Amino acid sequence: SSPRSAVIIIGAGVSGLSAAKVLAENGIGDLLILEASDRIGGRIRKEKFGDVSVELGAGWIAGVGGKEPNPVWEIAAKLGLRTCFSDYSNARYNIYDRSGKIFPSGIAADSYKKAVDSAIQKLKGVESNSAEDATNRTDLSLTPKTPIELAIDFILHDFEMAEVEPISTYVDFGEREFLVADERGYEYLLYKMAEEFLFTSEGKILDNRLKLNKVVRGLQHSRNGVTVKTEDGCVYEADYVILSASIGVLQSDLISFRPPLPRWKTEAIEKCDVMVYTKIFLKFPYKFWPCGPGKEFFIYAHERRGYYTFWQHMENAYPGSNILVVTLTNDESKRVESQSDEETLKEAMVVLRDMFGPEITDATDILVPRWWNNRFQRCSYSNYPMISNNQVINDIKAPVGRIFFTGEHTSERFNGYVHGGHLAGIDTGKTVLEEIRQNDTQNQSFLLEP
């Protein structure tokens, strides 16, 4: 017969590990973590590029300095993770047109205000009535049309929504954001977390309760337990399962359920938008971009919305690294993921030559993460509709029989962030613990009956 555990946790990202840790620390040592890839960390992932560690996934600890402490910031501080303060808000004063001229700050500020007003107006429309209504009510003069307006609209919607609507991360935890710039990577935080409940030696996790390269393909569940089937033909049994695969994976057909998930569940899963966010790293032999105060972020204004718009230099994080990062999202991310990196490098160089002149040298190296095409991710993070009723997120989070759902997409307040994943994992761990204890009490009273 197949091995049986009290709890199987699917996925060793921040939420899965946080859930496992709660269980282990509360006496449920009989657990098994099945991870599809060959490493822990999930969407927290560093890679060597040039001479430094760059973060392909989560890069910032967002929400610092507010009324409530951000738990991820606290862990990072305790571990002495090296971070560096980031101020996006300067980006709007470094907007280049296609001839390399920087827009005067007055024009940039006006366009910014217009974009914020337009977004707020749209949001109010959505709040009061249907989305259709919102489009009708929107003052057409506020619709972004020119390259600078399109660029600002892109930045606002894909990066700075907090300017438009309150986002718990910034309201509760504070408005500051810190870039992780540590050779050990953001993922160091996860290794240290794992070390607290899994057996490790010389920086490696050797505990056989963590199994890597185990792609879960099937979950068969009943009143008595869950049978988990992996791609390599193994079968595992558990009293409970905690599933931490991303919203993108849940929307895909990677994992099948028997009996199938109920309609309310699949409908909620479909309703959640997935955001694809791609940081492309480019390495140069020398710097040709400005590096003084307020210059870390800059914007390229093109007539195509989101076309190599948002740039960052890495000199604050790693002086002398000569690395630039450009961020693409959604359709642009998917387009770039499907072409060769050489093609992408060429496109990026045309953009950089527009901004900094024809004489600049080609990048010597490029790194293009592919979150969308990764079948264990299929997204970068969840993006709930601006005014979504809480029902959607409650349904995505709600257990189905003995299968419990966790991950950043199940965090009501902090979806989309590392701390969202962390807190969601703790929450799910506690819920399952409670469930186990209740069952134990019931079984005990049954046994004690004469």
- Interface ranges with ligand FAD (CB under 6 A): 10-16, 34-37, 42-44, 57-60, 62, 214-216, 244-246, 249, 254-255, 277, 279, 371, 376-377, 380-381, 407-408, 416-418, 420-421
- Say how many C-beta atoms besides its own lie within 10 A of residue 357's C-beta: 10
- The minimum distance between CB 279 and ligand FAD, in angstroms, equals 6
- The minimum distance between CB 186 and ligand FAD, in angstroms, equals 8
Which residue number, 308 or 376, has a Cβ lying nearer to ligand FAD? 376
For residue 41 the two structure tokens come to 């960390």
Which residue number, 56 or 151, has a Cβ lying nearer to ligand FAD? 56
Which residue number, 59 or 429, has a Cβ lying nearer to ligand FAD? 59
Which residue number, 96 or 311, has a Cβ lying nearer to ligand FAD? 311
- The minimum distance between CB 274 and ligand FAD, in angstroms, equals 10
Which residue number, 254 or 345, has a Cβ lying nearer to ligand FAD? 254
- The minimum distance between CB 327 and ligand FAD, in angstroms, equals 8
- The minimum distance between CB 122 and ligand FAD, in angstroms, equals 25
Which residue number, 108 or 400, has a Cβ lying nearer to ligand FAD? 400
- The minimum distance between CB 384 and ligand FAD, in angstroms, equals 13
The half-sphere exposure of 337 on its side-chain side, counting CA atoms within 13 A, is 20
- The minimum distance between CB 230 and ligand FAD, in angstroms, equals 7
Which residue number, 103 or 404, has a Cβ lying nearer to ligand FAD? 404
